[in-house]
Amino acid sequence: MNFDLKAAKLNLAWLYPEYLNLYGDQGNVMALRRRAEWRGITFNVSPISIGDEFIETYYDLVFIGGGQDQEQASMHFDLIEKKAEPLRKFIEQGGVLLAICGGYQLLGQYYKTNEGKLTKGIGVLPVYTQAQKKRLIGNIEFVAEKLPLAEKDRHMFGFENHSGLTYFLDESENRESANNEPEGTASYEANEVDAKAKADQAALSCQALYAFGKVVKGNGNNGEDGYEGCHYKNTFGTYAHGSFLPKNPAFADYLLALALQRKYNLASDYRLPALSEPLLGNLRQDLAACEV
């Protein structure tokens, strides 16, 4: 299909930019805008903050960055009470969303602090997060095997800095059930082993379905299971700062293409025309060579 990009317009909602904007996360918005404008696409960015209405039918893309616990607490009530429902609708209807670090955690079921306090998420991603004192810091590389990109472009690069450990929900639900098995019965040990085996299988199934990618270098979601991020419909959550999209321009273009497909009823294999970027190959090689 011959689609005139100069006639296209995309609207991006940048949620809580004054609260959720760590480690250069605004570079993701800049990358999307520039890569759209270089192709002639009109690209509008709307900062949406506390008290602002989020109209899910107006926006084509949403970006949510990372923030410190204090900043997340400041906007949490507004997110849950005012924006959670339209955000869930946007996501379920195939809207394109990228969430980084704290923004990723807020899309999950809950965040549990070291003191045991639960902070509710909007509940759209099948993950939960448990705080710990040790931070996971350093360069990260992971492979998004399920994405329809060239093999070299499925390798994603970023910088992680998080103390929250994120797990897929199936694992927590099934392990809680296994750990609560009543003791003092002859079948307890066998039941416990069986329940934990089922929990492991459920976790693997959930990871296979919803993980953004497999870790090559770094920690990822929790430093244990080898997975990074979560991918549900056209929503992507990741711990990769950096900024993430400038380091992974093919993925930025993929997000733009998804938004255009949805808005203008384009074919599911529609891709943006390539840009001339002679230095990009060297940049990606340097990123691949970075130490953790």
Percent of the chain topping pLDDT 70: 87
Strands of 42-48's sheet in order across: 42-48, 9-15, 61-64, 96-100, 235-238, 230-232
- Nearest Cα neighbor of 60 from 73, 79, 43 is 43
Does residue 138 surpass a pLDDT of 50? yes
Per-residue pLDDT at 196: 52
- Residue bearing the bigger pLDDT, 68 or 180: 68
Q: Is residue 105 part of a domain?
A: yes
The model's confidence at residue 68, banded by pLDDT at 50, 70 and 90, is confident
Taking the model in full, what pTM does it have? 0.86
- Mean pLDDT computed over every residue of the chain: 88
Domain assignment of residue 206, given as a range:
5-178+188-289
Kindly state whether residue 94 falls inside one of the protein's structural domains: yes
Mean pLDDT of 77-95: 97
Q: Which of 101, 155, 206, 231 is catalytic?
A: 101
Task: Give me the catalytic one of 76, 155, 231, 241.
Answer: 241
- pLDDT per residue as tens digits for the range 252-282: 999 999 999 999 999 999 999 999 887 777 7
Count up the domains in the chain and report the number. Answer: 1
Lowest mean pLDDT among 67-71, 72-76, 180-184: 180-184
pLDDT tens-digit map of 188-243: 344 444 555 555 555 566 777 899 999 999 999 999 999 999 999 999 999 999 89
Q: What is the pLDDT of residue 184?
A: 35
Q: Are strands 230-232 and 61-64 parallel, antiparallel or unpaired?
A: unpaired
Which secondary-structure segment (H or E) carries 283?
Answer: helix 280-289
pLDDT of residue 92: 98
27-41 residue pLDDT tens? 999 999 999 999 999
Report pLDDT digits (tens) over 160-188: 999 999 999 874 454 343 333 333 333 33
Which residue from 242, 253, 234 is spatially nearest to 218, judged by alpha carbons?
A: 242
Tens of pLDDT along 87-118?
Answer: 999 999 999 999 999 999 999 999 999 899 99
Q: Is the pLDDT of residue 122 over 70?
A: yes
Q: CATH number of the domain that 15 lies in?
A: 3.40.50.880
Q: Is residue 183 part of a domain?
A: no
135 has binding-site annotation = yes
Q: What is the pLDDT of residue 64?
A: 97
Is 101 an annotated catalytic residue? Answer: yes
Both tokens of 228, joined, read 């990074």
% of the chain exceeding 90 in pLDDT: 74
Instruction: Using DSSP, state whether 165 is helix, strand or coil.
Output: strand
Quick one: pLDDT at residue 198?
Answer: 54
259 domain residue, yes or no: yes
